[in-house]
Amino acid sequence: MFSIIGIVVVIGAIVGGYLMEHGNLKVLIQPAELVIIGGAAIGTLLIANPLPIIIKLLKGVAGAFGSEKFSKERYLDTLKMLNELFVRGRKGGISSLEQDVETPDKSEVFKKYEKILKDHHILHFICDTLRMAMTGTVSHFELDQMIELDLEVHHKEVNVPVAALTTVADALPGLGIVAAVLGVVITMGALGGPPAEIGHKVAAALVGTFLGILLCYGFFSPLAASMSKANDSESQYYHCLRTGLIAFIRGAAPILAVEFSRRSIPTRVRPSFQEMEAACRGVKNEAKAA
């Protein structure tokens, strides 16, 4: 949402300032310059990246225009889910979670949390961690190292599309110069013609440089930064899961393991202890009623 507001502010400030100086907006409308710059940018993207990365890049850009994925409500639901899993695992032993882990789509716990159930990466992260703990042959220290390796690989993968978009953004000013040089070439061929025609061609050439710089610093670089921040938020969410899971596997009581998770949540989206306690108490009451 804020990305859309930011784009509107950028366009409004540039167009507004240009009109305040009595500029002619028609001069800025140069479809040929956009074709040169935009087409060349897409070409560099295709040259440098395979199709799966391009698809992830497009999804990441689309996500930058949506609402925040890991909100306070999402974290509160996650703490409730972890508490329910931990309580069940403490009562019947960790092996009692086998059915939930092996068939999460049929699990009475996971079915309550649709967002987690639909996110296969997060669901597999939770289930694979508990599955390894059930073997009884892996210490919590070794399991923590395994999780760290998993998160390191995931972090590298999600940052590849960001690097691809950043590369395109860095190329845009240069592509704008290419468009400007082509415009100068056309202008040189028109020397001797009417001054108004030459002036129009020079203006079109300069618009190429303008568009390249604007697209880089006004749109593509900020979008890459937004995607990077979204990846950081996802990493913090995984860290929350990791902290709680390891605490429980280490032998902490369910509520203590959940509190470990809560303390690892960034403060801007961290539920209070009272909110967490009320949510977990509601889960316990549901279990008693059942």
Residue spans of the domains in the chain: they are 31-289
| Rounded Cα gap, residues 68 and 233, in angstroms | 9
Tens of pLDDT along 244-275? 999 999 999 999 999 999 999 999 999 999 99
| Rounded Cα gap, residues 138 and 275, in angstroms | 34
Q: Once rounded to an integer, what is the mean pLDDT over residues 203-217?
A: 90
Residue 166 and residue 221 in contact, taking contact as beta carbons nearer than 8 Å:
yes
Residue 104 and residue 71 in contact, taking contact as beta carbons nearer than 8 Å:
no
- What does the block give as tokens for 136? 């009884």
Tens of pLDDT along 149-188? 999 999 999 999 999 999 999 999 999 999 999 888 888 8
What pTM did the predictor assign? 0.86
DSSP 203-230: HHHHHHHHHHHHIIIIIIHHHHHHHHHH
The pLDDT of residue 289 is above 50: no
Tens of pLDDT along 25-57? 888 888 888 899 999 999 999 999 999 999 999
The pLDDT value recorded for residue 283 is 52
Cβ neighbours, 10 Å, residue 248: 27
